[in-house]
Amino acid sequence: MRKLSLHSMVLSALLLSAVGVARATDVSVTGLFTGKAMLSLNGGAPRMVSAGQSIDGVKLISADSNAAVLEVDGKRKTLGLGQGVSVGGGSSSGSQMVTLTANSQGHFVTLGSINGATTRFVVDTGATYVSLSSAEARRLGLDYSRGERGAMSTANGVVPAYKVTLNTVRVGDISMNQVDAAVIEGGSPPVTLLGMSFLNRVEMKRDGDTMTLKKRY
């Protein structure tokens, strides 16, 4: 039997490790300019990128006021303002998780996406569902009027609301399918609430100003 050299064994271990940690890249467009775009990767802070420039394996091919053309893993994607896409990745033995940091008001706010379109979330364990305003739903392209009509009590009184099912909700590396949500008529809440219809499916651990979410199922 042929014996593997120490070098070969180390190389094999590194290759196996690389395969195990392969993850998808969540890219969102938060700003558009001629020849430049603001990009958010995996829910991180937006970064200005010029045409021809690459960040973390994502290359901006071109951009104008209407759309940005990106190249990731050799594939080109055209995204409009507020749109996002998950690309790359492979089989992974690791868990989907994300770590959030509280803002100066003590709230855990992060960028994520609904059905591939970027939105800003705030973690809210008091909300039964992922909840968003009708204004935000329209911006995201959700046809909420087909949902189950009801009513919700808000600071502005009782207002119409619609229960819908979102195809995908993504925060960092965590992606959930078929998530119940409530769309509330008007401009409230100003930030999408990451409610229990999403949070019930993760393990939550808070340590001071840090919160870790880990996907359970």
Residues 123 and 209 reside in one and the same domain: yes
Here the tokens at position 57 are 């394996």
Distances (CA, A) of 80 to 24, 28, 159: 20, 9, 31
Nearest C-alpha neighbor of 84 from the set 163, 202, 172, 196: 172
Residues 124 and 155 reside in one and the same domain: yes
For residue 7, being part of any structural domain is answered with no
CATH code at position 182: 2.40.70.10
Mean pLDDT, the chain, whole residue set = 82
The confidence score (pLDDT) of residue 24 equals: 59
Distance (Å, whole) CA 99 – CA 87 = 21
Residues 67 and 167 reside in one and the same domain: no
Distance (Å, whole) CA 175 – CA 3 = 43
The confidence score (pLDDT) of residue 10 equals: 37
Domain boundary among 57, 87, 117: 87
For residue 190, being part of any structural domain is answered with yes
Residues 154 and 71 reside in one and the same domain: no
Domain boundary among 43, 61, 87: 87
Residues 192 and 117 reside in one and the same domain: yes
Residues 60 and 114 reside in one and the same domain: no
Distance (Å, whole) CA 92 – CA 57 = 19
**pTM of the predicted protein model:** 0.59
Strand-pair category, 130-133 with 202-207: unpaired
Secondary structure of residue 180 in the 3-state scheme: strand
Residues 204 and 101 reside in one and the same domain: yes
Q: Which of 10-14, 89-93, 146-150, 213-217 has the lowest mean pLDDT?
A: 10-14
Reported as a pLDDT band with limits 50, 70 and 90, residue 83 is low
CATH code at position 69: 2.30.30.830
Domain count, the chain: 2
Reported as a pLDDT band with limits 50, 70 and 90, residue 77 is confident
Distance (Å, whole) CA 185 – CA 136 = 10
Residues 183 and 110 reside in one and the same domain: yes
Residues 58 and 156 reside in one and the same domain: no
The parent domain of residue 52 ranges over: 25-87
Residues 120 and 211 reside in one and the same domain: yes
For residue 9, being part of any structural domain is answered with no
pLDDT higher than 50, residue 4 = no
Mean pLDDT of 23-50: 82
For residue 143, being part of any structural domain is answered with yes
Secondary structure of residue 199 in the 3-state scheme: helix
Residues 57 and 67 sit within 8 Å (Cβ to Cβ): no
Distance (Å, whole) CA 187 – CA 76 = 35
The confidence score (pLDDT) of residue 72 equals: 78
Mean pLDDT of 10-37: 60
Residues 56 and 102 reside in one and the same domain: no
Reported as a single tens digit per residue, the pLDDT across 183-194 is 999 988 999 999
Residues 81 and 118 reside in one and the same domain: no
Reported as a single tens digit per residue, the pLDDT across 127-155 is 999 999 999 999 999 999 999 999 987 77
